[in-house]
Amino acid sequence: MDLTDSAFCPRYHKAVEVIGKRWTGVILRAMLLDVTRFADLRAVVPGLSDRLLAERLKELQEEGIVERIVHPETPVRIEYRLTEKGLELHDVVYTLSRWADRWVPLEATATT
Amino acid sequence: MDLTDSAFCPRYHKAVEVIGKRWTGVILRAMLLDVTRFADLRAVVPGLSDRLLAERLKELQEEGIVERIVHPETPVRIEYRLTEKGLELHDVVYTLSRWADRWVPLEATATT
């Protein structure tokens, strides 16, 4: 592999900037575990405000990773679902989870 | 799987916060491709300043992901190497690269 050409990849750079954004990684993990409602997502992530969750979901929609589904019931029910693009992040989240289980000591998580 | 208990994982949260930090993902990818010198790392990542690269390398050392190796030669030669913990990020970086190749259009990278 020619390092000069390949050591920087703009697609990867863009991906890590989108997914690595504060809270986005945890929101994606929860959605992969089938948490789809706004209030449930907020409840899953300690310290995440309504405003920030709404902002992140909007960004993920703009990236085509999440879609907002409105069920026309009374009262209206809204779900956030991963698109195919979003669902295919499963392996990324899974390998990072495994790495974290192996390498991140629980005490290191106290301040986050 | 019990979603209530598992949808939030503090270890994963910590991992994504460390690795997702701006520039860290690209620095790690370059290091996995055997770029080990400060000047080479800076050259690989467009727009990354000396100051920010030094800061990120210091953070990665504090996390035990990178080690700084001083070769006592004249002039002194310094290398940054991934530790075992850092090397085991290979699969994370690899799966994210594959996802990016498939899903991130090149035009989306223009502004990053």
Q: Which amino acid is at A87?
A: L
**Residue of A2, A5, A16, A60 to mutate, testing the B interface (most B Cβ within 10 Å of its Cβ):** A16
Task: Report the predicted TM-score, pTM, of the whole model to 2 decimal places.
Answer: 0.86
Biggest distance spanned by C-alpha atoms of chain B: 59
Question: CB-based contact (8 Å) between A69 and chain B?
Answer: no
Residue by residue, pLDDT tens for chain A (112 residues) are: 333 447 778 899 899 988 988 899 999 999 999 999 999 999 988 889 999 999 999 999 999 999 999 999 999 999 999 999 999 999 999 999 999 999 998 876 765 4
- With tokens 């069920």, the residue in question is A71
- Of B20, B89, B109, Cβ closest to residue A13: B109
Strands (DSSP E) found in chain A: 66-71, 77-82
Q: CB A7 to CB B33 under 8 A? A: yes
Domains and CATH numbers, chain B: 9-97 (1.10.10.10)
What does DSSP assign to residue A20?
T
Q: By the 8 A CB rule, do A91 and A33 touch?
A: no
Mapping DSSP to helix (H, G, I), strand (E, B) and coil, where does residue B65 land?
Answer: coil
